[in-house]
Amino acid sequence: KSFLFNQLFDPKKNIPEGSHQYELLKHAEATLGSGNLRMAVMLPEGEDLNEWVAVNSKLSPFLYASFKIHIFYCSADNCNLTTAGKKYEYHWADGTNIKKPIKCSAPKYIDYLMTWVQDQLDDETLFPSKIGVPFKRNFMSVAKTILKRLFRVYAHIYHQHFDSVMQLQEEAHLNTSFKHFIFFVQEFNLIDRKELVPLQELIEKLTTKDR
């Protein structure tokens, strides 16, 4: 694992030990350790899809460590916009504090995103950790938005900072992290295909041999 892999978020913080979601988290970690990423993302037999998506969304902050590594090379000066190549530019809005999408630097976008995602994970009405507490109707919509925005940071890193990733010799870690992420969102159709276009060639390359 990367030297920053566990420094930003701890998914167990959002999942009480002994709870059913904690057991799902242990299952997810175990299947990830098997090396079979397609099997790792599959819904365990008899489990609820909302709970499985919730647990994996809580695992997703691990990905921020990958993002954090590359922020060393990403500043408001050299990334004054959040882009993925020349064709794609991402603007930030959270619907609460910032209702109208704004242009911002890539580091600022990631700061906004990290804060917003943690707020969602900490909201027990959205991500209930207690057995028997139902998920709200808009849960899947929120989860999809989290994953869509995480993808945008991947797109920025691959398009704008992959040379730096290779200099750090972190490309294998980044590729594995992204591959697991893509298998998960593809398995449950959690990100619209048009959102994936900026990295479509990479997605094909990373996933073809696992079909």
Give per-residue pLDDT as tens, 110-132.
889 888 988 898 898 998 877 77
Judged against a pLDDT cut of 70, whether residue 178 lies above it is answered with: yes
Tokens encoding 13: 């913080």
User: Exposed, middle or buried, 211 (CB in 10 Å: 0-12/13-18/19+)?
Assistant: exposed
Distance (Å, rounded) from C-alpha 113 to C-alpha 44? 29
For residue 174, the model assigns a pLDDT of 83
Q: What is the pLDDT of residues 128-168, one digit of tens each?
A: 877 778 999 999 999 999 999 989 989 998 999 888 888 87
CA 176 to mean position of chain CA atoms: 13
- Structure-model confidence comparison of residues 31 and 61, the more confident one: 31
Contact 153, 110 (CB under 8 A): yes
Element (H, E) at 162: helix 162-167
Q: Which residue numbers belong to the known binding site?
A: 74, 79, 156, 161
Question: If DSSP codes are grouped into helix, strand and coil, which group holds residue 84?
Answer: strand
CATH fit for domain 11-210, picks 3.30.1490.20, 1.25.40.10, 1.20.140.30, 2.160.20.10: 1.20.140.30
Q: What is the pLDDT of residues 86-105, one digit of tens each?
A: 999 999 999 889 999 999 99
Handedness of CA 186, 192, 194, 197 (dihedral sign): negative
Q: What is the pTM of this model?
A: 0.85
Amino acid at 2: S
Q: Which residue numbers belong to the known binding site for Zn(2+)?
A: 74, 79, 156, 161
Judged against a pLDDT cut of 60, whether residue 176 lies above it is answered with: yes
User: Exposed, middle or buried, 32 (CB in 10 Å: 0-12/13-18/19+)?
Assistant: middle
Q: Residue ranges per domain, the chain?
A: 11-210
Of 7, 22, 9, 17, the closest CA to residue 118 belongs to: 9
